[in-house]
Amino acid sequence: MDLIQLQRQLVDYRTSLYHEGFLDEQFTQLQSLQDENNPDFVVEVVSLFFEDSERLLNELSKALEQQIIDFKRMDAQVHQLKGSSSSIGAHRVQKLCIVFRNYCEVHNVEGCLKCLQQVKHEYGIIKTKLESMFQLEQQILNAGGSIPV
């Protein structure tokens, strides 16, 4: 594919992500931090986010399967997830975490389970989308172009 086209595709893709509320301006901030000294900043941060989130989601699933559910610990973990997602601008995930925390506070198991499912779902989506975006960027870089801001 043409470089220009790739670039335009990337821009459109990104815009759509913002538009649909998957990402918010925090992600833009992240991107602005990337420069010659720090060329892979965004990717690094996002990868770290993926690792962190997956670990947290696994732990949450395990916690909800227990007989006696440790809501406090769960709350802490959801808080972590919320922090991470807000740091990179994963808007929908962050919103769901807030709801999740509310359920934890009132010790509502049903609600928590439901929320967990939703978070996992959203996380899945954002992961796929970001990975696609990175692939596009890689393609552009490979084609010798620069990533448009």
Partner 1 sequence: MDSCNCIEPQWPPDDLLMKYQYISDFFIALAYFSIPLELIYFVKKSAVFPYRWVLVQFGAFIVLCGATHLINLWTFTMHTRTVAMVMTTAKVFTAVVSCATALMLVHIIPDLLSVKTRELFLKNKAAELDREMGLIRTQEETGRHVRMLTHEIRSTLDRHTILKTTLVELGRTLALEECALWMPTRTGLELQLSYTLRQQNPVGYTVPIHLPVINQVFSSSHAVKISPNCPVARIRPAGKYMPGEVVAVRVPLLHLSNFQINDWPELSTKRYALMVLMLPSDSARQWHVHELELVEVVADQVAVALSHAAILEESMRARDLLMEQNVALDLARREAETAIRARNDFLAVMNHEMRTPMHAIIALSSLLQETELTPEQRLMVETILKSSNLLSTLINDVLDLSRLEDGSLQLDLGTFNLFAVFREVLNLIKPIASVKKLHVSLNLAPDLPEYAIGDEKHLMQTILNVVGNAVKFSKEGSISITAIVAKSELLRDSRTPEFFPVPSDNHFYLRVQVKDSGVGISPQDIPKLFTKFAQTQSMATRNSGGSGLGLAICKRFVNLMEGHIWIESDGLGKGCTAIFMVKLGIPERLNEPKLPFMPKVPTNHGPTAFPGLKVLVMDENGVSRMVTKGLLVHLGCDVTMVSSSEECLHVVSHEHKVVFMDVCVPGMDGYEVAIRINEKFTKRHERPIIVALTGNTDKVTKENCMRVGMDGVILKPVSLDKMRSVLTDLLEHRVLFEAI
Q: In the complex, which residues of this chain contact partner 1 (CB under 8 A)?
A: 25-26, 29-30, 32-33, 35, 37-38, 41, 44-45, 48-49, 52, 75-76, 79-80, 82-84, 86-89
Q: Among the residues of the chain, which ranges form H helices?
A: 3-19, 25-33, 41-65, 71-88, 91-105, 109-142
Spatial distance between the Cα atoms of 121 and 11, rounded to a whole number of angstroms: 25
CB of 9 to partner 1, least distance (A): 26
CB of 73 to partner 1, least distance (A): 9
CB of 26 to partner 1, least distance (A): 5
**Nearer residue to partner 1 within complex by CB, 7 or 84:** 84
Spatial distance between the Cα atoms of 54 and 105, rounded to a whole number of angstroms: 22
